[in-house]
Amino acid sequence: MTNRALPLLLSTALVLALGACEKEITVDVPETEPRLVVEGTIEPGEPPIIILTRTQSFFAPTDLSSFAGLFVKNAVVIVSNGLVTDTLDMVCSSILTEEQILLAAEATGLDPQLLANVDICLYSTTNPAIYGEEGGVYDLRIEAEGKTLTSTTRIVPAVPLDSLWFRLIDQDGSDGDDSTGFLWARSIDPPAPNNFYRVMTRRLNTGDDGAALDATFAAPLGSTSNDQYFNGQAIEFIISRGSSSFSDPEDRGSTFKRGDTVAVKLISLDKASYDFYRSYENNVATQGDLFTQPANVRSNIEGGLGVWAGLHAYLDTLVCIP
């Protein structure tokens, strides 16, 4: 993720190779200026939601206090749909009730325990005139810390899931695993080319604490695709379980269990948003995440990093019974 990663790996290799030497090796790693990162979404019937952060130094502390310091407060965030222009309100988790924190977690994908323990601020509105609509085009303008960031996105039509089912990994029971598997789905791509998709999942059944197994929807790596090779055709595809950075480390598998109740979103998005999420997934798979210095992530934010994405989700739910 950062231009510091290669020097760090090289210095580590040198230390291992020269372990018998007593001479200390020092590598001078230059600092880079933090940049503003946007994670903004708007969906039909929903308000725009903007999370604004700064990139973090490779060697910066990773405790909760320093994590909270990544979030940018007191920015001017403006969204326009061509008819209505609205300046969004800053909303901080420290003033939210427990119920509102759960709603905020669902809307943003941030962990509810994080929202409850760290004062995290985002930007949104209660003005329904600027809520998302299918076919709408939305301009974003952000002024923060002496910088101006801009972007434009649109909300494309949703594509439905034709069917959804659960299939065990071990179909014939020869391996003795009769409890875990993946979801499968069937959808029909529209005849017009250049459709772009993202899949997210959430287990709704509860754990021992009475809370849903997944606090929010999460996208598995490789969840973003386009119709380059199946334009206008029916397609069947496998869906693995998504996990976020805040998931329980002991529960980050990719499979579902027999009896799980799973909500699935098939999200349609425009090309600029697709380019971001696709490159972001590749970046996370190989290097890290957007809280460090991202490499090769295709942002649609002028003057900064990140994404302003119009999303249109088709939602379906399945109980995992083979």
User: What is the DSSP code string of 74-141?
Assistant: S-EEEEE-SS-EEEPEEEEGGG--HHHHHHHHHHH---HHHHHHS--EEEE---GGGSB-TT-EEEEE
Q: What is the pLDDT of residue 177?
A: 66
pLDDT at 287: 60
Q: Are 237 and 185 in contact (CB under 8 A)?
A: yes
CA distance 278 to 298: 8
Strand ranges for 261-320 from DSSP E: 261-269, 305-319
**What confidence category does residue 3 fall into, taking pLDDT thresholds of 50, 70 and 90?**
very low
Answer with the residue of higher pLDDT: 102 or 238.
Answer: 238
Mean pLDDT of the chain: 84
Residue 111's pLDDT is 81
Lowest mean pLDDT among 60-74, 98-112, 140-154: 60-74
Of 119 and 79, more confident: 79
Burial of 267 (0-12, 13-18, 19+ CB in 10 A): buried
H/E segment holding residue 281: helix 271-286
Task: Tell whether pTM > 0.75.
Answer: yes
The confidence band for 12, taking pLDDT boundaries of 50, 70 and 90, is: very low
Give the pair of three-digit tokens for residue 221.
Answer: 């790596």
Q: Does position 294 have pLDDT exceeding 60, yes or no?
A: no
pLDDT higher than 80, residue 71: yes
Backbone angles phi, psi at 285, to 5 degrees: -65, -30
